[in-house]
A = this chain, B = another copy of it.
Amino acid sequence: MMDVEIELEPILKALASSRRLQILEWLRDPVANFPPQQHGDPIKHGACNQYIVDKLGVSQPAGSRHLKVLVDAGLVIASPRKGWTYYRRDEARISEIKRHLNEL
């Protein structure tokens, strides 16, 4: 496996929030953790913004910003699709990050 350079600090800052840890946990299984979606495929594209915001119990802007932090850190992938935005874990990147965390 290649040794990829990763800046750990911004990733750890993104992870250092119980709200965001909770989102990551939920996104491990979107089907089990969110209501059924008529529009996007929860497996392929993830859960939509609003379901996550509702379950978090914070205002919509607050939830959106948590999601943006996760996206900016590379932990989550956003898929905007005509009006909705779906979020799913970036499992490849998360595995990479775990490898680096194991070298702490």
Contact = CB atoms under 8 A, between A and B. Distances in A.
A38 to B, nearest CB: 30
A15 B12 CA distance: 7
Tell me the dominant secondary structure on chain A's binding face. Answer: helix
How many copies are assembled? 2
Interface residues of A, number: 15
A18 B9 contact: yes
Contacts of A18: 9
Contacts of A15: 8, 12, 16, 104
Interface in A1-29: 8-9, 12-13, 15-18, 21, 24
- Shortest 6 CB-CB contacts between residues of A and residues of B: A12-B16, A13-B16, A16-B16, A9-B18, A12-B15, A101-B101
